[in-house]
Amino acid sequence: MAAKDLLTCGKVVKPHGLKGELCIIWYADSPLLLQEFTRIYLRVSGKRPRAFRLEAMREHRKRLLLQLEQITGRDQAEKWRGAEILVDARDLPREDEEEVYLHELLGCRVYLESGAYLGMLQGFVPRKNGEVWQIVDEKGREILFPAEDNFIVHLDPEGKKAVVSPPEGLLELYLGED
């Protein structure tokens, strides 16, 4: 498994209890997505990811608790404190062919409807009702773009291209243009 095929989806906060459960923060919208994977990966900073089979999961105080097959006690779980939780991008479920995952949009060239180049999509800021794109223009200026359907004209993740129609005043705010 190449590390480039793995996506970070959460983080181990701490061990929970004596049986080796891991208390985690899950970044995806729904914890039910975890049930779709045959295996998950844990990576401690500076080390290679290690595969684990998910035995059980449950909610506990607004967090998730995971029981992984190979972690059977608190001491073993403690070794994974702070580890990233990764999944294989190829295992992500698709409900329809039009569905696009955020990681597929990273590196997209972003254009305005006029054809003018706006910048490169370099990151995302999660919001309660969606996300905000972090676009960096050729001068290194960051534009925080609300990724709402009414502002996105076209997405081509395979061609790494997006066409947008920003809300009035947005570009002036970030780029200082009239």
pLDDT of residue 99: 61
Is the pLDDT at 11 greater than 60? The verdict is: yes
Cα(35)–Cα(173) distance, rounded to whole angstroms? 42
Q: How many residues does the chain have?
A: 178
Residue type for 14, please? Answer: K
At residue 78, φ and ψ (nearest 5 deg) are -60, -35
pLDDT of residue 100: 63
DSSP code of 114? T
At residue 76, φ and ψ (nearest 5 deg) are -65, -40
pLDDT of residue 59: 85
The average confidence (pLDDT) of the chain is 85
- Once rounded to an integer, what is the mean pLDDT over residues 91-107? 67
Cα(160)–Cα(134) distance, rounded to whole angstroms? 15
pLDDT of residue 1: 47
Class of domain 102-175: mainly beta
Tokens of 162: 């997006």
At residue 95, φ and ψ (nearest 5 deg) are -80, -30
Cα atoms in the 13 Å half-sphere on the side-chain side of 93: 10
pLDDT of residue 28: 66
- Once rounded to an integer, what is the mean pLDDT over residues 70-98? 83
- Once rounded to an integer, what is the mean pLDDT over residues 84-103? 70
Cα atoms in the 13 Å half-sphere on the side-chain side of 64: 23
pLDDT in tens, 16-73: 999 999 999 887 666 666 777 778 899 998 899 999 998 988 888 878 899 999 999 9
**All residues at 6 or more sequence positions from 79 whose CB lies less than 8 Å from its CB, including other chains:** 44
Class of domain 3-91: mainly beta
Tokens of 177: 């243009």
Cα(24)–Cα(58) distance, rounded to whole angstroms? 11
pLDDT in tens, 133-154: 899 999 999 999 998 889 999 9
Where do you find CATH 2.40.30.60 in the chain?
3-91
pLDDT above 90 as % of the chain:
45
Q: In sequence order, which ranges of the chain are alpha helices (DSSP H)?
A: 74-78, 102-105, 170-175
Backbone CA torsion sign across 15, 17, 22, 27: negative
> Which residue is listed with tokens 């290690």?
50
pLDDT of residue 6: 82
| Residue 174 confidence class, pLDDT cut points 50, 70, 90 | confident
Where do you find CATH 2.30.30.240 in the chain?
102-175
